[in-house]
Structure 1
Amino acid sequence: MDTYKLELSLRDLKKKVRNLRKQELIPCVIYGKGIDSLAMQVEYQPFRKVYRKAGGNNIIDLKVGDKEYKALVHHVDFDPVTDKIAHIDFINVRMDREITAQVPLEFFGISLAVKDLGGTIVHSRDRLTVRCLPAKLPGKIEVDITPIVDFRTVVTVKDIKLPEGVVVLEKQEQAIASAVAPRAEEEEIKPAVGVDVNAEGVPIEKVEEGAPAVAGAEEGKKEEVKKKE
């Protein structure tokens, strides 16, 4: 497991939060079993750098003065206007107690349903909920899509190889990935409603009642009348 570290400092609750943000500080809180909730602050850029790598499912060593805490990033609030980090919730964990966390899935392999049949892989889930000791918490769970050789095969939770000591809480039959067939590039051209077609599907031009069946028929009728006269 990778090691991530951050230094935090106690927050003066008398100071306005907006003033902290002007100083490139993020207000945050640490809570969890065995400790009282602590109002803290952390420098913006160091946290941003660590969070990019650790995400919410890697243990971060938090140093607050002479004390240290093992924690996970439980929640991050973003400013709706600037999209900058506005607040962080850290949850303290005990290394000898199991925790529950969501872990992202990473798909790998070559599916014959895609390579040979032109299909597209569809992901039913992009993360799974697991239970394990903090030291066993994986940063990601790999899912092999190689078994998907046709449009009937489905990769489920029971097909995933998990690290030792990690238990997935979703049902074993939960679908994870499958393949869908490609759409026809060209749809069959159908004649408009009410149009007659021949055996080859070519529209037959209708002749109005009383109109000549072929070109020149009207002229032929005129010549026949003249002869009778």
Structure 2
Amino acid sequence: MEKLNLDVTNRTITGKKVKTLRNQGIIPMNMFGYGIDSKELQCELSQLNKVLPVAGTNIPITINIDGETKSENICFVRDLQWDPISDKLLHVDLYRVDSTRTVTIEVPITLSGTSNAIVNMGGTLIQPLSSVTVQGLPLDIPTEFVIDISILDGFEKSILISDIEVAESITLMNPEDQMLARVLPPRVEEEPTVESEEGEEGEEGEEGLLEEGQEATGEGQEEQSDSE
């Protein structure tokens, strides 16, 4: 795994005045967590644009604070604040951890390959989980889990948590039988049954004949009654 670094400096400007920093291409940051009180920092936006997309929230970043060399700052990105209108980065929160203690964190899942059940059988791929929870030392946390879906060559097969291969230093926290991916068969729609017009006309004709017969019977009964 590539080691990520950010060179930052301590920040003295706070509150609404941080807008002047952003106008200069500098983003305010806060670092908190293991062994420290909250520290107010700042970093050039150009650096953040390179590191943050790679780090996500599960890759540790080494924070190098200008003028401080006594301790190593291993951090995860905890939160990013964005301007809702311009979509520009406003603020970064970093969570400091102890590199010798385990952490629990979400690792994304990426599906790769092709499935015969999709390509040749018209199935639809479903992926109930986009990430899994793992526990391990900060520097051992994987970037992502890449899952090959080529084994899904039929509708009866599924990929489960137990199918993920991990290093001995990493523990998967999800249930082993939890599903990661499966291909569903194509949906078959039944055509509605439509009665023919001839059948309907035939039924109407029979009803008409029956009514006429009933009337005729009634007339015959009246004539018989008169003759008596």
Instruction: Please state which band the TM-score falls in when normalised by the shorter chain.
Output: 0.7 to 0.9
Given the two structures, how large is their TM-score scaled by the length of structure 1? 0.79
**In structure 1, what is the equivalent of residue 41 of structure 2?**
40
**Structure 1 segments (4+ residues) deviating >3 Å:** 207-210
| Among candidates 85, 96, 99, match of residue 100 of structure 2 | 96
Question: Within 5 Å, which residues of 2 pair with 1:133-212?
Answer: 133-184=137-188, 188=191, 190-191=193-194, 196-197=195-196, 203-204=197-198, 206=201
- SS of 1:152 mapped into structure 2: coil
Amino acid at match of 1:188: E
Please, which runs of 5 or more residues in structure 2 have no aligned partner?
A: 207-228
Q: For residues 4-23 of structure 1, what are the structure 2 equivalents within 5 Å?
A: 4-14=4-14, 16-23=17-24
Matches within 5 A, 1:40-119: 40-67=41-68, 68-119=72-123
1:29 equivalent in structure 2: 30
| Residue of structure 1 in register with 2:221 after alignment | none
Mapped partners of 2:136, 2:205: distance in 1: 84
Whole-Å Cα distance in 2 between the matches of residues 117 and 146 of structure 1?
Answer: 13
How many residue pairs match? The answer is: 200
Structure 1 distance, partners of 2:58, 2:152, is: 28
Residue 214 of structure 1: aligned partner: none
Unaligned runs of 5+ in 1: 198-202, 211-229
Please give the alpha-carbon distance, in whole angstroms, between the structure 1 residues aligned to 2:60 and 2:29. Answer: 17
* CA deviations over 1:39-75 (Å, ceiling 9, x no partner): 1111112101111122222121211113241211111
The answer to which structure has the higher helix fraction is: 2
For 1:2, the equivalent position in structure 2 comes to 2
Amino acid corresponding to residue 112 of structure 2 in structure 1:
F
Distance in 1, matches of 2:109 and 2:155, equals: 21
Is the partner of 2:87 in helix, strand or coil? coil
Equivalent position SS for 2:201: coil
| 2:127 corresponds to which of 123, 126, 130 | 123
Shift in Å at residue 149 of structure 1? 2.6
What RMSD over aligned residues (CA atoms) do the two structures have, in Å?
2.1
